[in-house]
Amino acid sequence: MARVDLTVRGAGIFGLSIAWEAARRGARVQVVDPNGPGAGASGGLVGALAPHVPENWNPKKAFQFDSLIMAEPFWADVGQAGGRDPGYKRSGRLQPIADAAALDLARARAASAADLWQGKASWSVVDATTFGDWAPPSPSGYLVHDTLTARLHPRHAAQALVAALASRGVPILSDAPDGTAPTIWASGVAGLEALSRDIGKPVGAGIKGQAALLRHDARDLPQLFADALHLIPHGDGTLAVGSTSERDWDDPTATDAALDDVLERAYAVLPALRDAPVIDRWAGLRPRARSRAPMLGHWPGRAGQYVANGGFKIGFGMAPKVAQVMADLVLEGRDAIPEGFRVAASIPKG
């Protein structure tokens, strides 16, 4: 590539999505990652694109809502451009309701969703018998069913983005020298560590997660969220279960008894999974910014350098909107980043 308008360092979900959005706008882009696409947290198994509850609305929830609504056309374009299926489906989600108080709250949230979700999705209370054997155990006999939640197969999504970028002539390199073009650092846990060192204050850290993939075909059924677990039927006849959130570990990429516990809890939620073979296990570090929101914007003190990091559990759901606002900022000088997402929001005061 003779001339570059933008370098993206990091080939996870944020980096690849930003590169795609920039290339789609006509920019000459290169992606640089010594470990290759989807090597970090974006190479996991779960792929739940789930909304925050529809209440106490704030810029973070509005940003995520916009991104989830954008996701269907975004991933359709990616799949069409590269000829690879990212595994996207707005499959919806079921959650058990514990008791009468939780039932009242769920019904109040249904009314909030009717307003806040602008008629583009629904949050409803349904009788658990509506979903037969697929319904998770619910002490109240009722479930929350939302139609905004979607799924992606993380590895397929990364491969689809790589193929889409190739169709636009965007290279993904293992190394490249620093140039004069603007650079977006979307480099996950390593990027959080580098930024922390640069400013002399901790802005985030890696949180270990573990997940499993089972051979169980429920591709047309909604996701389940029960006992703090995501159970995600993928379109290829597999089902992902996860995940843990661990601050302490001996090996960040090793699965252990914590994942065995996740599987046992999943069997309690959906007994049919006991007969499903476990075909993959994954463990890795997910980048969480100190603010617990994505960290977007200028790298402090570095002209032409930008940060897109801290997706943690919501990175895949946030990716379309993150790509949009970062391309707006870097390519067009238009800053639409919410205050709580700015780099400064994750820098300790004093």
Question: pLDDT tens for residues 50-108?
Answer: 999 999 999 989 999 999 999 999 999 999 999 999 999 999 999 999 999 999 999 99
Separation of alpha carbons 231 and 234, rounded Å: 10
Is residue 1 over pLDDT 90? no
Neighbours of 139 (CB within 10 A): 12
CA distances from 311 to 13, 293, 296, 317, 322 (A): 9, 7, 10, 9, 10
DSSP H/E element including 205: strand 204-215
The two beta strands, 172-173 and 29-32, are parallel
Give the pTM. Answer: 0.97
The pLDDT > 90 percentage for the chain reads: 97
Give the Cα-Cα-Cα angle 286, 292, 293 (nearest 5 degrees). Answer: 100
Which residue is it, tokens 């238009």? 334
The tokens describing 61, both together, are 């929830």
Separation of alpha carbons 62 and 289, rounded Å: 19
CATH 3.30.9.10 fits 206-286, yes or no: yes
* 3 — pLDDT class (breaks 50, 70, 90): confident
Question: pLDDT tens for residues 218-235?
Answer: 999 999 999 999 999 999
Helical spans, DSSP H, in the chain: 13-24, 59-82, 100-116, 154-167, 188-199, 257-269, 315-332
Average pLDDT over residues 301-313: 95
Is residue 2 over pLDDT 70? no
Best CA proximity match to 329, nearest among 187, 229, 184: 184
Question: pLDDT tens for residues 139-163?
Answer: 999 999 999 999 999 999 999 999 9
CB-based contacts of 223: which residues, under 8 Å, 6+ apart? 48, 50, 91, 92, 93, 94, 149, 151, 230, 231, 232, 233
Is residue 237 over pLDDT 70? yes
* 249 — pLDDT class (breaks 50, 70, 90): very high
DSSP H/E element including 285: strand 278-289
Average pLDDT over residues 192-206: 96
Contact 146, 122 (CB under 8 A): yes
Decide: residue 91, CB within 10 A, 0-12 exposed, 13-18 middle, 19+ buried. buried
Is residue 347 over pLDDT 80? yes
Average pLDDT over residues 159-169: 98
Question: pLDDT tens for residues 130-139?
Answer: 999 999 999 9
- Pinpoint the residues of the chain covered by CATH 3.30.9.10: 206-286
The tokens describing 287, both together, are 């980048």
Greatest Cα-to-Cα distance within the chain, rounded to the nearest angstrom: 65
Average pLDDT over residues 99-118: 96
The pLDDT > 70 percentage for the chain reads: 99
